[in-house]
Structure 1
Amino acid sequence: MTSNPSSCWAIVPAAGIGSRMQQNKPKQYLEINGQSILSHTLTRLLQFPFQKIIVAVAADDQWFDQLPVSKNVRVIKIEGGAERYQSVANGLNWLANCATAKDWVMVHDAARPCIRQEEIQKLYQALVDHPVGGLLGVPVKDTIKAVNTKKEVKQTVSRENLWQAQTPQMFRFGLLKQALTEALTKTQLVTDEASAIELLGYLPQMVEGRDDNLKITRPVDLPLAAFCLEHQTGDV
């Protein structure tokens, strides 16, 4: 690494309910191979030398404290918000007491348990000297269709220069805090950290990741994630 990794922090927004999973608990607490999705995710993140990993959970969360990984000294539980970016903003507020403006912050989805260590390292190495920061992503491979409100296809969209965003997304603490503060003040709904940075006029750097860094959003994703976790080889 070309910089001190102790100046890098992580935030995991985990306050969502995952309604599309149609389960009796938030999706991050559903189990794959005997462990919760969130446990898999945090175990992967703990392999990287983050100073702290801030996990933002719902105010009425009753599952997080039961996870063995929650007892790790580098894992900090805070209260999250109704939206993802509000949870991330709460994490940044917690970090305000210990992080400097130039420190790096990686934000990673709780429901991406298949992130490989080599991809975290790749993102860090690619961006450590970048003025803004960036994110993992993969080029769009499928044909993209634009539809109307009746789901009728009205246009085929060119895939050229289109990428599917993933996490982690890594930005300087000061810049990311400014971006999310402005989004909250202006009540602008941002779906990821990069979109908040973009609203300030900056250009995040895309770093190519892997297709197996999938996000669990529907029931069919659970067996797929289990397959990926079982078959990933090498440095994960």
Structure 2
Amino acid sequence: MKQDVKKIIKDSLSANKQSLLEPECKAILSGCGLPIPRSVLIKKKKEFETKAKKLTPPYVLKVVSQDILHKSDIGGVVTDIKNIKELNNVWTKMVKNISHKMPTARIDGFLLEEMSPKGVEVIIGGLRDTQFGPVVMFGTGGISVELMKDVSYRLAPLDKKEAIEMIREVKGYPLLTGFRGSKPADIESLSEAIIKLSEILIKIKDIKEIEINPLLVYEKGVAAVDVRIILNPDNE
């Protein structure tokens, strides 16, 4: 595990944070070997053009704030931004929406990412159960998780055999095997992502909950598009 990961956790606990900001979450994933979209953190509007040129459009723009848990509800996430001119317009509108809907929210910046290609959406996560300890969850993405509760669970740590069993248990498994003529998804990389998430829970006891939703699974590889991490300040 990289020193940067330990520093993020230590600094956040020292600041009495209960959860991490998205750039911090993704830095932890990257430091633990999980693929994330290329991104830059922008603090001021005048930085947009210079920093945006480091990435390849289309872009995704997200507000970064400890006070805003559901960014989409207040217009704090915009996808498929095609160029820098459009990006400037999106930023102006986003700031206006947030100022109107959550005027007291503290804005820590804006996360600009390269928009990930479409893939099979799944969710992987874990929590620290008071009785059983670290528990890992896998499920198909979108409405399958919300409506059908299409998920499987295992105790951490887990090995490759257990990770693949988790994947095959859910009703949405055919979506990963080439449903309706689509190409089969990379089960190998998906199982590795589940194992790495279980290792995060085992190694970083200051993490209480972690959820990657969605994790996009491709013909080759995966990408963690959204992630949230809740801290465990008492290390219970």
TM-score computed with the length of structure 1 as normaliser? 0.28
Q: In proportion to residue count, which structure has more helix?
A: 2
Structure 2 length-normalised TM: 0.28
